Amino acid sequence: MSTAQTTDVDLDAIDVLDARWFADGTPHELFARMRAEAPVRWNPLPDGTGCWSVTRHADVSAISRDTETFSSYKAGIFLHPDQVVGLDLTRNLLLYMDPPQHTKYRLILQKAFTPHTVQALEDGIRARVTKTLDRIVEAGSCDVVDDIAVPIPLGVLTELMGVPEEDIAEFYTWTEEIEAAQRAPEPNAAAEVFVKMAGYLHGQIERQAAEGNEDSLVMKLRAAEVDGEKLTDPEILVFFGLLAFAGNDTTRNTLANGLHALLEHPDQLQELVEDPSLIPGAVEEILRYTSVVRWFVRTATTDTELGGQSIREGDRVVMWYASASFDDEVFDEPTRFDIHRVKPEHKAFGGGGRHFCLGAGLARAELRIALEEITRRLRDLQPAGPVERLPSSWANGLVHFPVTFTPGARAGDTAA
């Protein structure tokens, strides 16, 4: 849908969740209009029902922080309660819990998933990035999605979970099926693959437990304890499933879209090449500018009021992170990509509060290290054709992104 349509359109009539609005990326003019004219608006859906669409930064924060009024548990976090897999299964995931259950699980998981865990992974992440770039650096061209953005987070995640290298390809096909199920028209589309993956991960957990390596995530999760409560092995299995679901495409889409943004702003890419100390700031701006998880849903547990609208118990509320990260009440010239913004309070990792992304530290480390190595090794990066986008309102993802660069040497060769 064109820019003209987004400026003239009747906001009362449109379904903003229709993927066609996102064919050219996030429709920022449309969201700017919604924030100004109808920040909490009723969005009609094709099945005759509807949901509330919330676009302002302050309202997204308010909903995220009020888990008593806005539940993740009641009907899940997608529009259909059984999207991806049935609610009976997903309710075991941290993402779908409300307090007090969420509080307990989150505390236990945080004990195993600490900043120290992330720090300990840094060498492994750099080795993974180096290996990934080694495969393409001599060729002088690649597809950013297939050759860079897919293998890095997938490799880090499988390493974190102790999945052996030879099983990564199969693991990849499962994560692709789960990703596709997020967009599938029929609910429960990933049921079969979840069972398959669970069977596999169960074997991995048993193997790692038998090996007893204290540094493995399985052993850390087994040891983590809050108020005398520990995770059972089935709960550890569920957490591994959550990591595969939450930590993979998100990081991939941020990296691919981030490189796209940098190639659209070559002066800023050049600044990173010349001064890598700017990279952590660039990562934050990339997170804001790409906001790859565009929305999640909450369900009202009681009648309430938001932005002058009466929300009824049971109403679904869509929090648009991709709009909140561009709210001009918070960000100066929000559609400008600017790696020099100071700590932009974006909503890429959620609206804040209890469900704030547990993997934010890991994602930031992956993005930083990937950019450090890419800017150092892939010189004269240029787009080599149009990008292909994922047909989705939910995920801001790229399917293909061809680039060229000056061929370089493999890391092993330069070190020699």
Q: Which of 16, 79, 94, 378 binds ligand HEM (CB under 6 A)?
A: 94
Please, what is the minimum distance in Å from the beta carbon of residue 359 to ligand HEM? 2
Q: Tell me whether residue 1 is exposed, middle or buried, using C-beta atoms within 10 angstroms of its C-beta: 0 to 12, 13 to 18, 19 or more.
A: middle
Name which of 137 and 197 has its Cβ closer to ligand HEM.
Answer: 197
Per the listing, tokens 């299995």 go with 237
> Rounded CA gap, 170 and 181, in Å?
17
Stretch that binds ligand HEM, among 40-48, 243-251, 257-265, 266-274 (CB under 6 A): 243-251
- Does 128 engage in binding with ligand HEM (CB under 6 A)? no
Joined together, the tokens standing for residue 115 give 């900043």
> Rounded CA gap, 238 and 102, in Å?
14
Per the listing, tokens 């890391």 go with 411
Q: Which of 300, 358, 390, 411 binds ligand HEM (CB under 6 A)?
A: 358
Q: Which of 35, 57, 346, 355 binds ligand HEM (CB under 6 A)?
A: 355
- Does 72 engage in binding with ligand HEM (CB under 6 A)? yes
Distances (CA, A) of 341 to 232, 251, 295, 321, 329: 43, 21, 23, 18, 15
Stretch that binds ligand HEM, among 3-11, 84-92, 212-220, 344-352 (CB under 6 A): 344-352
Over the window 102 to 121, marking each residue x when it contacts ligand HEM by CB under 6 A and - when it does not, the resulting string is ----x---------------
Please, what is the minimum distance in Å from the beta carbon of residue 158 to ligand HEM? 11
Closest by CA to 352, choosing from 67, 55, 33, is 67
- Does 154 engage in binding with ligand HEM (CB under 6 A)? no
3-state secondary structure of 225: strand
Q: Which of 21, 73, 296, 337 binds ligand HEM (CB under 6 A)?
A: 296
- Does 257 engage in binding with ligand HEM (CB under 6 A)? no
- Does 357 engage in binding with ligand HEM (CB under 6 A)? yes
Q: Which of 77, 121, 145, 190 binds ligand HEM (CB under 6 A)?
A: 77
Residues within window 207-236 making contact with ligand HEM, judged by CB under 6 A:
none
Distances (CA, A) of 30 to 11, 35, 252, 295, 319: 9, 9, 26, 15, 15
Q: Tell me the one-letter amino acid at 177.
A: E
Burial 296-313 (b: 16+ CB within 10 A, else e): bbbbbbeebebbeeebee
Burial 190-210 (b: 16+ CB within 10 A, else e): beebbeebbebbeebbeebee
- Pairing between β-strand 50-54 and β-strand 316-320 as defined by DSSP bridges: parallel
- Does 250 engage in binding with ligand HEM (CB under 6 A)? yes
Q: Which of 292, 311, 317, 318 binds ligand HEM (CB under 6 A)?
A: 292
- Does 293 engage in binding with ligand HEM (CB under 6 A)? yes
Please, what is the minimum distance in Å from the beta carbon of residue 126 to ligand HEM? 16
Q: Which residues contribute to the site for ligand HEM (CB under 6 A)? A: 64, 72, 77, 94-95, 106, 242-243, 246-247, 250-251, 254, 292-293, 296, 321, 348-350, 354-355, 357-359, 362-363
